[in-house]
């Protein structure tokens, strides 16, 4: 029951918000934060009351807070939710990240009520996916998360956001249908026909038919690989990330990607152990390729957000590498368990650090309307807090000891090098590349002479045009932004280059221009933004000297806790490992059947 | 021909149908004595009859399956599902058509024809004898010809003619099929056919099966008998279109299911494969044709063609798996509520013919746009709507009936369908997303808008309450 409340609370609040059109922006923002905070508190309460059990507990036994209500009895689909060591950390991560995003979005001016409602809806879908113990229920939440994220990107993104949103929707929708076909395969293949995850995992279907078993794993694997995303299904990710609002990117990377990897641990591995063993090497190879591909392509990026997006491919590669190792039954069980634990910790760690990184790139966007490395430099001087937070997040992401990612990657490598030495050695080079690219990014952004992006300045945009279509965001929007902002009557001349309100709406106007007469609304946001700009930007002289206001209160409050938690996990991981380790051992044992 | 099973002749067995006919008769008489501007009372009569028919269908669901009147009329779960969905869809269409028909010179006639058409649809589903099937076909078709041409403009007249000629042609094919099967087995009752068809000459069975399928395929609007659908739908009002694409389809799909479950289950010819191919063609063709449409009603017309494809998946595996019947029950109900909802959204803005017009007119109607999103995503099969549950069970049934390829094709088509539904609700969402706009918002007709809201909610509730629905219909 408690779990159901945790899952449904956000969507209920979202519905209430939608019912109250007269609510002020402040009230909306605070009720969103309150809802997210209550949800997180309930999850912490659940964590305290959770007994992970000893030995191999989880997946098929030791499920806590479970509720089962029959839904479609003829196919034995039910509303069945519960938590174990696999899902609880991810549920906690989800609640925390959504709270961070709620705090971050305190000052959202663009349709704040709907923004909050969409995110709350998204929170329910993510929590529901992690809590689901029924394949159909899992699919319901999984699919709805796509719908929610589509609206986030299409409604509040920038640049070429509608195209990116559609791309995201189609890729992941195709993936989810492949997933559904796989689920139907599991249902039909089982002795007792059921969609119940626990029973399917306890008695794996299709044991006697390697071909069907492989096909079902292929369908499920493709579905989850698109979501994760793994090479070669990752191509939607950079676009979606670049054009999503910062809050959306943080959720997309921090939570939604985990839905894919979680699906592997929760569904593919325990329910299709024979096929997973047989094809474990494929998972290892795909993992290694994703690690390297993500790292090298990230290295080539000149856009901070795209770079971080590609490092997500890299980090998800470690997860799938660890999970692949879990299926190499010839290897030492101990090593396989270590790799699995590492993969699970990596999910949590990546959520914290990449969530923080995406929020930090949101700071760049809100100050200068661009993510382009060539337009930023020397930010450490004007914005020491930002610099410190970025440095911490970056060092965390590259796997420095003392951070959660070290605990994760260290275990993945320990397991891999014992079980599949070649893959392990190759994957380690991925760490070197990411270390290099993260340091390079820090160097470009924080050191050197101060270079502050001025979105409305003409010469800079000319430079930008030559960077090619890959940086479509800046190249596309910057030239058109100036007239749009001027038109709105509060552009660069009046309130300085840092008027981020004007910029955001400039980007929106760019969208509006594409549809001609269909839309004149964007400009009408001028009035509230004007007020906002005056209160938040210190420089209102003409012409304005470029400046970079440091992190504001709500930005600190949303980013710093994520980094702190990553360090806590890095220094004292026991509270997390105590929960994860039994479940990981259970998964490894189930896969070995 | 005598049927097997329990026989009875109690008139109360047909109470739901009698109520529909009674409503039509009373409505017609009342309409004759009612002045033009007061004809709304006929609608109340018709609405009452439809709701009473739905209520009367419930007790029969709780009882055992019976076969009445010499095996010609079967009352089982399938009939029960169709009785309920047809009566409730008719009621919904009556409700949503109130404004567009009020004061119309032929208002009474429209309501009466709808009730008669609904009776025909139930008769199609309940027919346990080929002669009854043909009779039901006529009862279900003739009122709709009149409804299709209700507007009496050139588009409508052309569409009606096309509809009528196609209908006559399909009727002849059906009669040929009937004759051939009588020739092959010496009887027309399904029970006798089921026994004797496996031993009958293959060529006769093949001709007979094709003939019968042509008839029900025409009523259902399945490829290759679908040519009337886009013209008729685009040539009439959205309210009529909602009726024509929902009510007869429910009966026709159920009739096809009954044929495939019994007489054509094991006739020596692979009828199931033929139906599977029809299903595949319908969903694919409907989708491909829908891509290019710019008119709301034409888009929806092709959407209904593709939806029939998914429904025929359950028909194809009718005799092959126990999952087929629940799948049919879920998908039929889901389709009915969702499809009526989509047409209601179209009817709420009657001036908007094209997709962009609609989006522009709905600019300040977030609830209407929201309902449209729910309904159209429902037609795609997005959880947790009713059609999603229907689709999952239909997919499972198809795979279980060894039509795995059909399931994969249906999944591919599901993805494809997203594109054209997005073409409708995508612009609408974007326009409401920017609150301020120029010019006043278009007037929304309240009754269709309310129907659309109700359908959106109903689609979600039916998805969540799928188990209860199956419990109600006894599956």
> pLDDT tens digits for A431-485?
888 888 888 888 888 887 777 766 544 333 333 333 333 333 333 333 333 333 3
Partner residue opposite B400 with nearest CB, options A73, A111, A188: A188
Closest by Cα among A576, A549, A159, A567 to A356: A567
Q: Do B399 and A154 touch (CB under 8 A)?
A: no
Instruction: Report the distance separating Cα A292 and Cα A273, nearest Å.
Output: 27
The per-residue pLDDT for range A297-350, each reduced to its tens digit, is 888 888 888 888 888 889 999 999 999 998 888 878 888 889 999 999 999 999
Instruction: Report the distance separating Cα A197 and Cα A392, nearest Å.
Output: 39
Chain A contacts to B (CB-CB under 8 A)? 70-75, 77, 111, 114, 136, 139-141, 143-144, 147, 151, 154-155, 162, 166, 169-170, 173-174, 177-178, 180-181, 184-185, 187-188, 512, 515, 518-522, 524
List, run by run, the mean pLDDT of 10-residue segments along chain B (475 residues): 51 87 93 84 92 91 82 88 94 87 83 94 92 93 88 86 92 94 89 86 90 93 89 89 93 94 82 92 92 90 94 92 91 94 90 86 84 91 88 91 91 89 85 61 80 93 89 82
HSE (side-chain half, CA atoms, 13 Å) at A227: 31
Instruction: Report the distance separating Cα A392 and Cα A149, nearest Å.
Output: 28
pLDDT at residue A493 is higher than 80 = no
Tokens 């259902």 label which residue? B220
Section A256-266 average pLDDT: 91
Q: Angle at the Cα of B382 (from B290 to B92), degrees rounded to 5?
A: 75
Residue A430 binned pLDDT confidence (cut-offs 50, 70, 90): confident
The per-residue pLDDT for range A443-455, each reduced to its tens digit, is 888 887 777 766 5
Contacts of B464 in chain A (CB under 8 A): 71
Strands B7-8 and B73-75: unpaired
High-pLDDT (> 70) share of chain A, %: 84
Closest by Cα among A205, A209, A210, A207 to A188: A205
Strands B7-8 and B66-68: parallel
Rounded to 10°, the helix B324-348/B446-464 angle is 160
In contact, A288 and A322? CB cutoff 8 Å: no
Residue-level pLDDT at A244:
86
Phi–psi pair at A52, nearest 5 degrees: -70, -15
Residue-level pLDDT at B356:
87
Tokens 């000297």 label which residue? A545
Instruction: Report the distance separating Cα A289 and Cα A281, nearest Å.
Output: 12
In contact, B272 and B320? CB cutoff 8 Å: yes
ipTM: 0.87
Q: To probe the interface with A, which of B404, B417, B426, B467 has the most A CB atoms within 10 Å?
A: B467
Tokens 């189609």 label which residue? A170
Residue-level pLDDT at A302:
83
Give the list of residues 6+ apart from residue A297 with CB closer than 8 angstroms, or none.
Answer: A310, A313
Q: How many CB atoms are located within 10 Å of the residue A165 CB? A: 24
Closest by Cα among B210, B266, B219, B1 to B117: B219
Q: To probe the interface with A, which of B81, B326, B380, B396 has the most A CB atoms within 10 Å?
A: B396
Instruction: Report the distance separating Cα B468 and Cα B464, nearest Å.
Output: 9
Q: How far is A152 from chain B (nearest CA, A)?
A: 11
Burial of B251 (0-12, 13-18, 19+ CB in 10 A): buried
Give me B346's structure tokens.
Answer: 């179209």
What is residue B66's three-state secondary structure?
Answer: strand
In contact, A259 and A145? CB cutoff 8 Å: yes
Q: Do B393 and A143 touch (CB under 8 A)?
A: no
Q: Does B402 touch chain A (CB under 8 A)?
A: no
Instruction: Report the distance separating Cα A8 and Cα A16, nearest Å.
Output: 12
Instruction: Report the distance separating Cα B401 and Cα B322, nearest Å.
Output: 9
Spatial strand order in the sheet of B66-68: B7-8, B66-68, B73-75
Residue-level pLDDT at A454:
60
Return the bridge partners of A80, or none: A68
Instruction: Report the distance separating Cα B301 and Cα B163, nearest Å.
Output: 14
Partner residue opposite A181 with nearest CB, options B411, B436, B471: B411
Residue-level pLDDT at B442:
65
């Amino acid at each position: 029951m408690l779990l159901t409340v945790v899952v449904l609370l956000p969507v209920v609040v979202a519905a209430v918000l939608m019912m109250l059109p007269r609510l002020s922006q402040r009230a909306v923002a605070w009720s969103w934060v309150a809802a997210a905070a209550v949800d997180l508190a309930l999850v912490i309460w659940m964590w305290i009351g959770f007994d992970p059990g000893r030995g191999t507990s989880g997946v098929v036994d030791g499920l806590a807070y479970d509720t089962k209500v029959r839904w479609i009895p003829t196919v034995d689909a039910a509303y069945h939710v519960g938590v174990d060591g696999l899902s609880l950390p991810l549920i906690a991560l989800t609640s925390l990240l959504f709270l961070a995003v709620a705090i971050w979005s305190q000052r959202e001016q663009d349709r704040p009520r709907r923004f909050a409602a969409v995110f709350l809806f998204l929170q329910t879908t993510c929590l529901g996916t992690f809590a689901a113990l029924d394949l159909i229920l899992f699919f319901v939440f999984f699919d709805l998360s796509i719908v929610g994220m589509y609206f986030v990107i299409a409604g509040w993104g920038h640049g070429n956001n509608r195209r990116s949103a559609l791309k995201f929707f189609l890729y992941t929708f195709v993936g989810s249908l492949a997933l559904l076909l796989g689920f139907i395969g599991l249902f039909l293949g089982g002795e007792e026909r059921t969609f119940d995850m626990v029973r399917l995992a306890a008695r794996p279907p299709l044991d006697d038919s390697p071909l069907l078993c492989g096909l079902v794993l292929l369908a499920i694997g493709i579905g989850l690989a698109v979501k994760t995303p793994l090479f070669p299904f990752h191509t939607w990710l950079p676009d979606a990330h670049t054009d999503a609002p910062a809050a959306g990117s943080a959720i997309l990377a921090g939570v939604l990607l985990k839905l894919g990897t979680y699906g592997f641990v929760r569904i593919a591995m325990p329910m299709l152990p024979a096929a997973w063993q047989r094809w474990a090497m494929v998972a290892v190879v795909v993992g290694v390729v994703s690690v390297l591909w993500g790292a090298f392509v990230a290295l080539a990026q000149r856009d901070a957000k795209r770079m971080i997006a590609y490092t997500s491919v890299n980090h998800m590669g470690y997860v799938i590498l660890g999970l692949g190792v879990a299926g190499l039954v010839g290897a030492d069980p101990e090593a396989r368990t270590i790799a699995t634990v590492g993969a699970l910790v990596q999910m949590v760690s990546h959520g914290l650090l990449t969530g923080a990184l995406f929020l930090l790139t949101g700071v760049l966007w809100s100050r200068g309307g661009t993510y382009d490395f060539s337009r930023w430099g020397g930010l450490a001087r004007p914005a020491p807090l930002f610099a410190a937070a970025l440095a911490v997040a970056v060092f965390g992401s590259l796997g420095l000891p003392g951070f959660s990612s070290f605990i994760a990657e260290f275990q993945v490598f320990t397991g891999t090098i014992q079980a599949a030495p070649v893959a392990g050695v190759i994957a380690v080079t991925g760490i070197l590349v990411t270390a290099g690219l993260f340091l390079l990014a820090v160097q470009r952004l924080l050191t050197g002479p101060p270079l502050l992006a001025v979105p409305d300045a003409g010469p800079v945009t000319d430079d930008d045009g030559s960077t090619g279509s890959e940086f479509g965001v800046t190249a596309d929007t910057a030239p058109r932004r100036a007239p749009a902002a001027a038109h709105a009557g509060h552009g660069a001349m009046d309130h300085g280059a840092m008027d981020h309100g004007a910029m955001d709406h400039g980007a929106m106007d760019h969208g509006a221009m594409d549809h001609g007469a269909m839309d004149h609304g964007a400009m009408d946001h001028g009035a509230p933004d004007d007020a906002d700009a005056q209160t938040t930007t210190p420089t209102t002289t003409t012409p304005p000297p470029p400046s970079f206001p440091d992190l504001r209160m709500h930005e600190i409050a949303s980013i710093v806790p994520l980094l702190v938690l990553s360090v806590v996990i890095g220094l004292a991981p026991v509270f997390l490992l105590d929960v994860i380790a039994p479940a990981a051992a259970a998964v490894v044992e189930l896969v070995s059947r | 021909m005598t049927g097997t099973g329990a026989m009875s002749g109690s008139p109360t067995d047909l109470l739901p149908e009698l109520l529909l006919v009674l409503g039509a008769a009373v409505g017609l008489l009342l309409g004759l004595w009612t002045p033009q501007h007061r004809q709304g009372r006929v609608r109340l009569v018709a609405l009452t009859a439809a709701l009473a028919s739905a209520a009367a269908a419930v007790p029969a669901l709780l009882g055992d399956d019976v076969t009445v009147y010499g095996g010609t009329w079967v009352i089982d779960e399938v009939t029960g599902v169709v009785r309920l969905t047809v009566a409730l869809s008719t009621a919904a269409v009556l409700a949503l058509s109130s404004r567009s028909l009020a004061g119309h010179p032929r208002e009474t006639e429209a309501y009466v024809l709808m009730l008669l058409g609904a009776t025909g649809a139930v008769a199609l589903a309940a027919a346990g004898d080929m002669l009854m099937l043909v009779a039901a076909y006529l009862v279900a078709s003739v009122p709709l010809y009149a409804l299709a041409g209700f507007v009496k403009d050139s588009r409508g007249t052309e569409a009606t003619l096309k509809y009528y000629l196609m209908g006559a042609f399909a009727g002849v094919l059906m009669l040929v099929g009937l004759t051939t099967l009588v020739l092959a087995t010496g009887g027309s009752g399904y029970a006798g056919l089921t026994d004797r068809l496996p031993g009958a000459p293959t060529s006769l069975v093949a001709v007979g099966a094709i003939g019968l399928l042509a008839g029900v395929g025409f009523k259902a609007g399945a490829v290759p008998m679908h040519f009337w659908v886009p013209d008729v739908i685009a040539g009439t009002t959205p309210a009529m279109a909602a009726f024509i694409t929902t009510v007869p389809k429910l009966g026709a799909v159920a009739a096809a299911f009954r044929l495939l479950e019994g007489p054509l289950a094991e006739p020596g010819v692979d009828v199931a494969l033929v139906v599977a191919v029809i299903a595949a063609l319908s969903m694919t063709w409907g989708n491909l044709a829908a891509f290019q449409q710019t008119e709301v009603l034409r888009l929806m017309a092709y959407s209904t063609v593709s939806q029939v494809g998914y429904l025929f998946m359950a028909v194809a595996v009718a005799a092959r798996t126990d999952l087929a019947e629940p799948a049919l029950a879920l998908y039929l109900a889901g389709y009915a509520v969702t499809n009526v909802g989509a047409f209601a959204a179209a009817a709420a803005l009657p001036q908007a013919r094209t997709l962009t017009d609609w989006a522009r007119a709905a600019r300040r109607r977030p609830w209407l746009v929201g309902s449209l999103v729910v309904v159209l995503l429902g037609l795609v099969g997005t959880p947790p709507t009713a059609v999603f549950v229907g689709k999952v069970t239909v997919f499972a049934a198809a795979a279980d009936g060894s039509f795995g390829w059909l399931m994969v094709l249906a999944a591919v088509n599901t993805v494809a369908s997203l594109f054209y539904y997005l073409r409708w609700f995508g612009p609408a969402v974007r326009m409401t997303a920017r609150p301020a706009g120029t010019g006043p918002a278009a007037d929304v007709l309240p009754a269709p808008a309310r129907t659309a809201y109700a359908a959106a909610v109903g689609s979600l509730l039916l998805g969540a309450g799928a188990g209860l629905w199956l419990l109600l219909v006894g599956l």
